[in-house]
Amino acid sequence: MSKFLSLEARRLDPYTPGEQPQDQQYIKLNTNESPFPPSPRVVKAVSKAELQKLYLYSDPACAALNAAIAKYYELQPENVITGNGSDEILAFAFRAFCGQGKPAAFADITYGFYEAQTALFGLEAERIPLREDFTLNVEDYMDFPGTIFIANPNAPTGMAISRTDIQRLLEKDPSRVVVVDEAYVDFGGESCVPMLYRYDNLLVVQTMSKSRSLAGGRLGFALGSAGLIEDLNRVKYSFNPYNVNRLSLIAGAAAVEDAAYFETCCKAIQGNRAWLTGELERLGFMVLPSSANFVFAKSDRISGGDLYRQLKENGILVRWFDRDRLRDFVRITIGSMEQMAALADALDRILESL
C-alpha cells in the first residue's frame, strides 16, 4: 500500500474473490458460475446495431429491464431496482438501511461481502453464529434492533431456511428491514418474493450471474415495496446513476424473457447436484444439504486444504476457506455432467493414493 492510503482504508479487510484464471486451462468449480452459455435470445439481442450505440450513456432508470423483471415476478416497475451485480445492490442496502442507531446483523459464516461492506461504510455490525450443524436459527435474530441480512440459501454452506422463518422475522418487528439475499434461490430454495405485497419491510435481492448465465454481464436486482426501492435509488443516484451498461440492460431483459431456457438450466443443475452428492457420499464425504448451485463437503481422509491443492494439480479449481469451522471443507460449484464426472474421477484417484 502507498503512504497516501487513509487510516480508514488501511483498516479494511477486502473480500477475496475466487481464482479467475483467464487461460481456461482449469475446470472451474470455484466461483459458482453457470456451466451454460446465456440464452440464445441474449446473443441475438446484443446485436451489432446495439454495439454501435455504446457512445451513448445507458438508461439510468433501467426502465426496460426493470419492466421485464417486474412482469416476470408479477410486480410493478416501482418495485424493482437494477444494479451492477447484486453486490452493488447489497452495498446500496447497507448504505440505505444501516447507520447511526441502525446496526446490521448477519451470520458469522455467510457471504463475505457483508463483512467487507460494513467495514467500508464504518457500520456497526453483529455477527450471529450459525448453529453447530451450520443451520441458521431465526430465533437468534428475533430481538435484534437493526437491519438483518440473510443469505438464503446461505453461502458457502448451501443450506436454506423456510419462507415461514423469514415471515416470523418480518412480523416480529415491522420497524426493521429484513434483506434476503436470494443469489442461489433458483436452484431449490423457497423465494420470499410472494410475500412482498404483505410486508413493506422486506427486501429481496437476486442476481443474474448464476441461474441466468450472466456473471460477466454484472446484473443484480432488488424487489421490494416502492418505498424501499425509492430509498435504494436515493443511494444509487448519489453514487453512480449510470450503473448498468447498455449491453447488460439488453442482455438482462432478453434473459428474463426466456423463461424456458432459464428453467431448463436450473433443472439441469439440480440433477447434476444430486448426482455429485451421491458420488461424494459414495467416496465417504460428508455433504451438507444444498439448495444452491454448489455443495459444501468434507472428507475424514484428507484435509480441505490438501484436497483443494491436489485437485488444482489435477486441473480442477474448487473453493477452500482457511478459517475456523470451514477449513475441513471445500465448496464445489455444480457444473456440467462432463465436469462432474471429471471431478469424481479425480477424487477417486486422489483418495486411492492416500
pTM: 0.95
Sole residue written with cell 415476478: 73
Q: What percentage of the chain has pLDDT greater than the value 70?
A: 99
pLDDT mean over 307-334: 96
Residue 7 lies in a domain: no
Residues 285 and 211 in one domain: no
Residue 18 lies in a domain: no
Residues 242 and 281 in one domain: no
Residues 146 and 274 in one domain: no
Residues 196 and 68 in one domain: yes
What's the grid cell of residue 169? 422475522
Tens-digit pLDDT profile for residues 135-154 = 999 999 999 999 999 999 99
Are the CB atoms for 60 and 242 separated by under 8 Å?
Answer: yes
Residue 310: domain span: 25-37+260-352
pLDDT at 14: 76
Indicate the pLDDT class of residue 214, thresholds 50, 70 and 90: very high
Tens-digit pLDDT profile for residues 119-135 = 999 999 999 999 999 99
Going by the DSSP 8-state scheme, the letter that residue 131 receives in this structure is P
Count of domains observed in the chain: 2
pLDDT mean over 276-286: 98
Residue 1 lies in a domain: no
Residues 29 and 134 in one domain: no
Task: Provide the CATH number for the domain around residue 108.
Answer: 3.40.640.10
Tens-digit pLDDT profile for residues 25-77 = 889 999 999 999 999 999 999 988 788 999 999 999 999 999 999 999 999 99
Question: Taking CA 92 as the corner, what is the angle to CA 86 and CA 93, rounded to the nearest 5 degrees?
Answer: 90
Q: Which residues, 6+ apart, have CB-to-CB distance to 264 below 8 Å?
A: none
Q: Which residues, 6+ apart, have CB-to-CB distance to 77 below 8 Å?
A: 63, 66, 67, 70
Residues 68 and 184 in one domain: yes
Residue 311 lies in a domain: yes
Sheet holding 104-107, edge to edge: 80-84, 219-224, 202-207, 178-181, 147-151, 104-107, 125-128
